[in-house]
Amino acid sequence: MKRFTSLFFKKQILHQLSILMGVFLLTSCQMINTENDMDLKKISLNNHWEFKQTDKKEWLPAEVPGTVHTDLISNNIILDPYYRLNERDVQWVDKVDWEYKTKFTIDQKIFEHQKIQLHFDGVDTYGEIYINNILIGSTDNMFREWDFDIKPHIHKGENTLKVVLLSPIENGINALKKHGYGLPAINDQSVIGEVGNQQVSIFTRKAGYHYGWDWGPRLVTSGIWRDVNIEYWNNTKIDNIFVQQKTSSDKAALKVSTQFYNQSENELTILAKLDGEVIKESTIASNSLSKTISFDIENPKLWWPANIGTPHLYELSIELYDDKQLIDVHTERIGLRTIKIVQKEDDNGEGKSFYFEVNGQPIFAKGANYIPNDIFLPRVSKATYKHLIQSTLDANMNMLRVWGGGIYENDLFYELCDEKGILVWQDFMFACSMYPGDEQFINNVRQEAVDNIKRLRNHASIALWCGNNEMEMAWAPGKDDMGWGWKQQYSKTQQKEIWGDYEKVFHQLLPEVVEEYTDNQFYWRSSPTGGDDIVAHYEHKSGDMHYWGVWHGEHPFSDFRKYIGRFMSEYGFQSFPEFKSVKKYTKPQDYDIESEVMASHQRSGIGNLRIKKYMEDHYQVPTNFEDFLYVGQLLQAESIYSAIQAHREKMPYCMGSLYWQLNDCWPVASWSSIDYYGEWKALQYFAREANKNTSLIVNSDDHQLEVKVASDINLQEPVLLQMELQDFEGNSLWNQSIPLKDITANKTLKVFESNLSKIISKNDSQKLVFISSLSSKKTEIIDRDLHYFVNQKELQLPKPELDINYTEDDNDLYISISTNALVKNLFIEVDQEQIKLSDNYFDLIKGEQKQITITSRKGEKIDRTKIKFKHLQETMKKKSL
């Protein structure tokens, strides 16, 4: 992120220079007078806006950053589109034009500056920009930044800025007509958008999910969606810095290239600081547009992914001086590390590895796919970003994939990933469609890529740039028996043209831009792909894999162990939000999964019935709506838990497991593990267990039982595996302990195997739980697993009696829970907003006491009267034996 520390707001005092930098450097730096105001200054234009429909007269209050939809909501013109079926009533909004205006004052002192520039961090999407009613430029890409020289068009005193936002639908329809034929865009919900079969999302450089997706609504926004400022300066300002590094544990060799807007006739001075200490000084020739300085850091503190090491960050500042005056400062936090993607051919020649290597160490990627947090992006708060990234860390993840149908995320997202050690797989914004390749489109995409690469490339968390989501697999070039049936809809001439346009963007343009503007960062042309000439399928042995046999293909959960690629970058299973969340967008008459409202908040047409079908296979299906939501979350959690374990079990053949998806953009039944309101679903808790650095994996069939240990780290000391078979009343029927050693990183070790009949003997498998735990010499539990021998619907569960005690500490609430018999999937429901629980949806056996901490993210007191408990036994027809 660019952070300009302006002396317009505060005075900059130089840090005392290290004596090790030498007398000359010390003397020269002390001569610099920093008591003057820095030359570069900004005026924020985020306040005092009005808006109207262009063919209306009344101006209404507006917010910037913002969207037309949210301004209409604030002014009571439309109702909340997320509530019930209100989405259907607002489809007119994207088919008309809108005007936004504000005023700003330019005094004599500002007007005397050589350069006065209007800067938009983002305009969504087709904007005409007017200063004092003079058209000075236009925008046509939501993902780009925009600069306009406004000095010729302003005057001293009050000025007006007007932005006319043209309909993205009308622009898209015109582009479609110009193209001559439509292109595949399977998630563009044009019928809901009341434009028939005119799928126009692919012609507009705008977030694809705004046009609908199989987890999102159709709400095609317009707005000034990021900050807008006026910048003014004389002669020179810093535009961007580019940090290149060659890092090892002994030394980091850094090369920092600074780009300028520079019309100064003077020789300038550039100063580099690391954590406040001056490390380099150099001069810049007059009119020079760039300067590169190099320096070494001995014994650097390295940046490591979460749970592997500390994600250390240095603060790098570049200060620019003209004689004694500080002109500009650019500050970024950087991490010193190496990231490589290793694709090594297998010894048998059947495929290639695909894994991330950080600082020379292979990393098993654990995490999820990430989508935008709202349709109306400007209202996503800093607190939401912090909650989601902290939740990622808390679930023992180390990677998020920023998916290509959304946005290049806000700076804060990447800053938080840097801080928490979360690697980022960054898609370019193309997904599940084919796109045009005319010159105007190509040029627009090129600048979009340049803007975002320059903005993000210095972040320690950026691990990979990916061209698109699922487009190569869907088109399946040269494979008539593969793909999604897209190419068969077109003539041979059209097929050649469409694929040629694809190659222009993803085989030529984007890799060239990544190579030119990054420090050898890795480019992957599509996800998934087998690389080389291999189109991804469920049995390819190179590259990454999206496995949707479970869910879309109706494969059994056991097939998660059958179809495993080198890097599992997508797979998933749906659930509804919990009842507390569902109540926020429904009425009691909607409490049926097949009601019109619940169906509208389920955008995968097969979704609700698909959940019910899988539930019938694994659980007793509740007839009560609230119970159905609860069991649906357990179903999702169990499925993805089994998938993560299957992937880790295959280390080092498989070295990544990113499920679809972490979050939601509106309240909906989806594949997310955290719902729109920030509530952890059962899956998030289960993922936390499956993603532990060292994890037990227990499998059984009708004949054998085996226990494995998967580890991302080397265990430094011997550990003890303890195993016990209990019935649900807590009676011990079998036990054994085994000391273990040589648990090493990125391997899965089988540590126990037995004929199942020797363990179960004559006991009823429907009434048994196999408990295994891994502990250190200090008896600290590293991991624990409860394994059952039959599906949940076949378990003969007892009727437990819970002993629950509460204690309070300021606003936090502590719950102590014990039971007289096994409790399956105890759910603690707290009917308050933004609640965090230390654990939930857990099993509890007799003799255990579970301590749960409940806190409020809003800092509120936890009201124990709003707490309810639910467990699986209460949803089953046979509740007790």
Report, as an integer, the average pLDDT of 596-624: 94
**What angle is formed at CA 235 by the lines to CA 231 and CA 236, rounded to 5 degrees?**
70
**pLDDT at site 27:** 30
**pLDDT at site 351:** 96
Measure Cα distances from 338 to 253, 296, 398, 513 in Å. Answer: 12, 15, 16, 20
In CATH, what is the architecture of 694-794? Answer: Sandwich (2.60)
Residue 125 in tokens: 């999407």
Residue (of 687, 209, 581) closest to 429 by Cα position: 209
| Phi-psi label, residue 731: left if phi above 0, alpha if psi -120 to 50, beta otherwise | beta
- Please report how the helices 625-649 and 682-690 are oriented relative to each other, as an axis angle in degrees rounded to 10: 20
**pLDDT at site 779:** 72
Superfamily of domain 802-875: Immunoglobulins (2.60.40.10)
Q: Distance (Å, rounded) from C-alpha 646 to C-alpha 631?
A: 23
For 509-668, strand residue ranges (E) read 523-524, 545-546, 568-570, 656-659
Residue (of 65, 93, 464, 36) closest to 234 by Cα position: 36
The rounded mean pLDDT for the chain is: 93
Query: Rg of the Cα trace of the chain?
Result: 29
Q: Distance (Å, rounded) from C-alpha 175 to C-alpha 202?
A: 10
**pLDDT at site 7:** 32
In CATH, what is the architecture of 364-484+525-690? Answer: Alpha-Beta Barrel (3.20)
Q: Distance (Å, rounded) from C-alpha 826 to C-alpha 816?
A: 13
Report, as an integer, the average pLDDT of 420-446: 98
Report, as an integer, the average pLDDT of 585-589: 98
Q: Distance (Å, rounded) from C-alpha 400 to C-alpha 655?
A: 14
DSSP bridge pairs for 740: 719
**pLDDT at site 34:** 31
Determine the 3-state secondary structure of 670 from DSSP.
Answer: strand
Helix (H) or strand (E) holding 754: strand 747-755
Measure Cα distances from 481 to 468, 499, 537, 671 in Å. Answer: 22, 17, 11, 29
Check: CB of residue 220 under 8 Å from CB of residue 94.
Answer: yes
| Tens digits of residue pLDDT in 167-188 | 999 999 999 999 999 999 999 9
In CATH, what is the architecture of 42-229? Answer: Sandwich (2.60)
Q: CB under 8 Å, gap of 24 or more: what pairs does 190-196 form?
A: 192/87, 192/88, 192/91, 192/218, 193/91, 193/94, 193/169, 193/218, 193/220, 194/91, 195/169
pLDDT of 619 > 80? The answer is yes
Q: Where are the domains of the chain?
A: 19-37+236-334, 42-229, 364-484+525-690, 694-794, 802-875
Share of the chain above pLDDT 90, in %: 92
| DSSP secondary structure letter of residue 792 | G
Residue type for 150, please?
Answer: I
pLDDT of 24 > 70? The answer is no
Helix (H) or strand (E) holding 456: helix 439-456
**pLDDT at site 39:** 67
Report, as an integer, the average pLDDT of 821-848: 97
**Alpha helices (H) along 650-698:** 682-690
Q: How far is it between the farthest Cα atoms of the chain?
A: 94
Whether 19-37+236-334 and 802-875 share one fold: the answer is yes
Q: Distance (Å, rounded) from C-alpha 876 to C-alpha 631?
A: 10
Determine the 3-state secondary structure of 450 from DSSP.
Answer: helix
Report, as an integer, the average pLDDT of 340-353: 96
Residue 592 in tokens: 């049926």
DSSP bridge pairs for 805: 816
Check: CB of residue 841 under 8 Å from CB of residue 637.
Answer: yes
Q: Distance (Å, rounded) from C-alpha 582 to C-alpha 204?
A: 33
Mean pLDDT lowest among 3-7, 701-705, 754-758: 3-7
Q: Distance (Å, rounded) from C-alpha 304 to C-alpha 673?
A: 25
Check: CB of residue 826 under 8 Å from CB of residue 803.
Answer: no
Measure Cα distances from 881 to 190, 619, 846, 878 in Å. Answer: 54, 17, 16, 7
Check: CB of residue 369 under 8 Å from CB of residue 672.
Answer: no
DSSP bridge pairs for 631: none
Measure Cα distances from 596 to 84, 586, 589, 591, 603 in Å. Answer: 9, 10, 10, 10, 12
**What angle is formed at CA 539 by the lines to CA 538 and CA 544, rounded to 5 degrees?**
70
Measure Cα distances from 108 to 111, 113, 116, 157, 766 in Å. Answer: 5, 9, 13, 8, 84
Check: CB of residue 514 under 8 Å from CB of residue 523.
Answer: yes
Report, as an integer, the average pLDDT of 780-809: 96
DSSP bridge pairs for 707: 698, 752
Report, as an integer, the average pLDDT of 211-235: 97
Determine the 3-state secondary structure of 612 from DSSP.
Answer: helix
Check: CB of residue 449 under 8 Å from CB of residue 383.
Answer: no
Residue type for 114, please?
Answer: Q
Give me the sign of the Cα torsion angle 297, 303, 308, 309: positive
Residue (of 867, 860, 858) closest to 810 by Cα position: 860
| Phi-psi label, residue 555: left if phi above 0, alpha if psi -120 to 50, beta otherwise | beta
Residue (of 480, 481, 472, 468) closest to 535 by Cα position: 472
Residue type for 136, please?
Answer: I
| Tens digits of residue pLDDT in 672-723 | 999 999 999 999 999 999 999 999 999 999 999 999 999 999 998 999 999 9
| DSSP secondary structure letter of residue 3 | B
Q: Distance (Å, rounded) from C-alpha 603 to C-alpha 212?
A: 8
Peptide bond into 125 cis (omega under 30): yes
pLDDT of 33 > 60? The answer is no
In this prediction, residue 37 has a pLDDT band, given cuts at 50, 70 and 90, of low
Report, as an integer, the average pLDDT of 83-100: 98
Q: Distance (Å, rounded) from C-alpha 178 to C-alpha 780?
A: 67
Share of the chain above pLDDT 70, in %: 95
- Rounded to 5 degrees, φ, ψ at 73 are -65, -45
| Tens digits of residue pLDDT in 477-490 | 999 999 999 999 99
Check: CB of residue 465 under 8 Å from CB of residue 426.
Answer: yes
Q: Distance (Å, rounded) from C-alpha 158 to C-alpha 683?
A: 55
**pLDDT at site 878:** 56
| Tens digits of residue pLDDT in 518-555 | 999 999 999 999 999 899 999 999 999 999 999 999 99
Residues 6+ apart with CB under 8 A from 423: 305, 339, 356, 358, 363, 365, 367, 398, 399, 400, 417, 461, 463
Determine the 3-state secondary structure of 739 from DSSP.
Answer: strand
Residue 147: Cβ within 10 Å count: 12
Residue (of 804, 821, 825, 840) closest to 880 by Cα position: 821
Q: Classify domain 19-37+236-334 at the CATH class level.
A: mainly beta
In this prediction the pTM is 0.94
Q: Distance (Å, rounded) from C-alpha 880 to C-alpha 874?
A: 9
**Across the beta sheet with 704-711, what order do the strands follow?**
694-700, 704-711, 747-755
Report, as an integer, the average pLDDT of 825-835: 96
- Please report how the helices 439-456 and 510-517 are oriented relative to each other, as an axis angle in degrees rounded to 10: 30
